[in-house]
Amino acid sequence: MANVTASIQQTLRESIEAAVTHLRHLDARPWRVLIILGSGLGALADEVADAKRIPYADIPGFARSTVQGHKGQFVIGTLFGVPVAIMQGRMHFYEGYPLWQVTLPVRVARAMGATHMIVTNAAGGINRAFNIADVMLITDHINLVGMAGHNPLIGPNLDEYGPRFPEMTTAYDPELRQRAAQAAQAAGIELRQGVYVCLAGPNFETPAELRFLRAIGADAVGMSTVHEVLVARHAGLRVLGLSGITNVARLSADEGAPPSHEEVMQASAQIAPKIFAIVRDVLPQML
């Protein structure tokens, strides 16, 4: 076991180094903010000035994003005056990748100079007050995948990135949350706030699972984000998290239509402009 985890650490260090060398060779500009765009939210990347697009498939050590609605590339450049790297699509645990590889882009972003991360996702609304196309500011998370024994920080610690036992009381930066709330208000967007719970997926939840998630304090459920936030916080990045509510939970089988990826993609089209408005306001003042 010791040898296995040690070799994962070696692979991880080598992968970070190889990816950084490759990226610097293609575009030497330092990164400041990593922005991860979830399912159907990729359009924000079209606003990047002086954009350089780098497919994950070209980057050594990177997994490919295989999900429909995820382009699978970095868009590097300037957004609203700030040097950014946008992830147009992400990797998920359910695609079969180990969590160190799912979160590799976050460690690479840190090595490229990023100090902040804006992470977005599509999520199912569990809170009864939520509607389709709402945006939820993530105030906290529940890592059910982690509780089941899968955590990207398991294995020998990368001391140059962060401590063995990172604390998570303010994983979602209070100051950035306040700025996002103000930005939403200024743009006339009714911003929801709540706790995001991460499941492995890829199936959607049963009604009994959704009732369980509500009982433990979750407001929205998804299949991403938490792993990236753990690695970002470990590396000292300040994090802002936004969930687009693409469907609302059926807490019993006779309540409404079952969720589908098509529904998620349709709602994302309504959510994208709201996230765009919040990011436009927050990004220039976040550094």
User: For ligand HPA, which is the closer residue by CB, 156 or 259?
Assistant: 259
Q: Is 19 left (phi over 0), alpha (psi -120 to 50) or beta?
A: alpha
**Alpha carbon distance 115, 252 (integer Å):** 43
Q: Verify whether residue 268 is a known catalytic residue.
A: no
Q: Verify whether residue 224 is a known catalytic residue.
A: yes
Q: What are phi and psi of 173, to 5 degrees?
A: -55, 120
Using rule CB under 6 A, residue 243 touches ligand HPA: no
Structure tokens, 145: 């995948």
**Under rule CB under 6 A, which residues in 71-130 are in contact with ligand HPA?**
122-124
Of 34, 153, 223, 231, which lies in the binding site for ligand HPA, with binding defined by CB under 6 A?
Answer: 223
Chain length of the chain: 287
Catalytic residue among 65, 85, 92, 123: 92
Q: Hey, which residues does 195 pair with through a beta bridge?
A: 140
Q: Verify whether residue 116 is a known catalytic residue.
A: no
Residue 31: which of 117, 111, 114 has the closest Cα?
114
Place of tokens 């977005």: 120
Which stretch in 13-21, 170-178, 187-195, 216-224 sits in contact with ligand HPA by CB under 6 A?
216-224
Structure tokens, 240: 């802002």
Q: Is 185 left (phi over 0), alpha (psi -120 to 50) or beta?
A: alpha
Neighbouring CB atoms inside 10 A of 61's CB total: 18
Using rule CB under 6 A, residue 246 touches ligand HPA: yes
Structure tokens, 197: 């719970």
Using rule CB under 6 A, residue 241 touches ligand HPA: no
Count of residues in contact with ligand HPA, rule CB under 6 A: 12
Of 83, 162, 222, 241, which lies in the binding site for ligand HPA, with binding defined by CB under 6 A?
Answer: 222
User: For ligand HPA, which is the closer residue by CB, 16 or 242?
Assistant: 242
Q: At its nearest, how many Å lie between ligand HPA and the CB of residue 51? A: 27
Catalytic residue among 15, 65, 224, 268: 224
Q: Are 80 and 280 in contact (CB under 8 A)?
A: yes
Contact pattern for ligand HPA over residues 264 through 283, marking x by CB under 6 A: x-------------------
Q: Which residues are catalytic?
A: 39, 70, 92, 94-95, 122, 223-224, 247, 261
Residues that bind ligand HPA (CB under 6 A): 122-124, 204-205, 221-223, 246-247, 259, 264
